[in-house]
Structure 1
Amino acid sequence: MTEARTGWLNDHEMAAWRAYIVGSALLDHRLNRELQSAHGLSIADYEILVRLSEQPGQRMRMSRLAADVAHSKSRISHQIRRLEAADLVRRQECPNDGRGVLAILTEEGAQRLRDAAPTHVAGVREHMIDQLEPEEQEVLAKVFDRLTDHLRGLDD
């Protein structure tokens, strides 16, 4: 990859940056609003429920969950506290490591996820997937995988 440059963005770079900022903010806002109004879930809460549902035993260490959804440990703690109050998730000490804490999807959380998933998938399709050609979807996935790898590598 090229060396980091300093200075102002040129017109093409600025157009790409602004399109990303505005488009991603509008998409996030729309998907969040649809989940909130139909199911009382934020998109961040939905993503946590999804991640837990994909794990064996529907449980995950809080530190790994934070890394997987790209949130700070304190933000995950706050979200899990809210999800716990709604009986969608519960916490438990790690049986093999007293310092670790597991987040566990409850049956109520699994049901809320099953109810919300069609709304979310329909929104993702309508507001993103269906707006892109298959080749653009591939490019988008490659670009954001590269950015994710780069940014996660900075934390090592």
Structure 2
Amino acid sequence: MDPLRPDELQVWQACKTLGHHVTRRVGAELTAVTGLSGSEYGLLSRLEELGEGRLGQQALADALGWAKSRMSHQLTRMAARGIVHREKGPTGVVVVLTPDGRDLLARARPVHAAAVREYLIDRLGEPERAMLVRIADRLTDAGGEGEPGG
């Protein structure tokens, strides 16, 4: 197969830059205000949304699109900070959001929302936002490998 043409390369670079730029800025805001990284916020918010603060470790890893080792290392660091803990469940390890983790998540949600609005939503008009959603839907449906984000 031939290498990407300049116009194809431009589309590829735009896609990579958009995702990296927005998530980096949102993550930086979260870290500056709450001390949470973007990955930590994503994990806590998924844990709350999908399991009401209690979810199997493998289900959480699957929801985030993370490898088992990445999930394990991340949870070890977060457990040391007292924002989650792990316990043995009937079918494996269960991740539990602690009261401190719930408080931190509650403080982080408005920071996350404000940053997403500042660095993405407010910079696009309604037609552009709708188009971006349609493009993302088409690409994730076609590839079947869309990774959920925070």
TM-score normalized with structure 2 length: 0.87
Matches within 5 A, 1:120-139: 120-139=112-131
Q: Distance in 2 between matches of 1:106 and 1:45?
A: 14
CA RMSD of aligned residues (A): 1.7
Instruction: Output the CA distance in 2 between the equivalents of 1:147 and 1:101.
Output: 33
Structure 1 SS opposite 2:36: coil
2:74 and 2:134 mapped to 1: Cα distance? 29
Cα displacement string for residues 6-41 of structure 1 (whole angstroms, at most 9, x for unaligned residues)? 322223221111112222222222111111111110
Structure 1 residues 78 and 146, CA gap change in structure 2 (3 angstroms): farther
- Residue equivalent to 1:112: 104
* Counterpart-to-counterpart distance in 2, 1:50 and 1:89: 12
Residue of structure 2 aligned with 1:76, choices 71, 78, 83? 71
Which runs of 5 or more residues in structure 1 are unaligned?
Answer: 1-5
> Percent identity of the aligned residues?
37
Whole-angstrom distance in 2 between the partners of 1:94 and 1:145: 35
Deviation at 1:141, TM superposition (A): 2.1
| Aligned residue in 2 for 1:38 | 33
| Deviation for aligned residue 1:57 | 4.0
Distance 1:40 1:23 in 2: 24
Q: Amino acid of the residue matched to residue 50 of structure 1?
A: S
Structure 2 CA distance, aligned partners of 1:102 and 1:142? 35
Which residue pairs with 2:17 in the alignment? Answer: 22
TM-score when scaled to structure 1? 0.84
| Inter-partner Cα distance in structure 1 for 2:85 and 2:18 | 34
Distance 1:49 1:56 in 2: 10
Structure-to-structure mapping, 1:25-104, within 5 angstroms: 25-95=20-90, 97=91, 100-104=92-96
**Letter of the structure 2 residue corresponding to residue 130 of structure 1:** D
1:106-149 per-position Cα deviation (integer Å, ceiling 9, x unaligned): 11111001101111110000100111122222222232234334
Unaligned runs of 5+ in 2: none
- What secondary structure does 2:93 align onto? strand
Distance across 2 between alignment mates of 1:143 and 1:7 = 25
Residues matched between the structures, number: 145
Structure 1 Cα separation of the partners of residues 137 and 69 of structure 2? 25
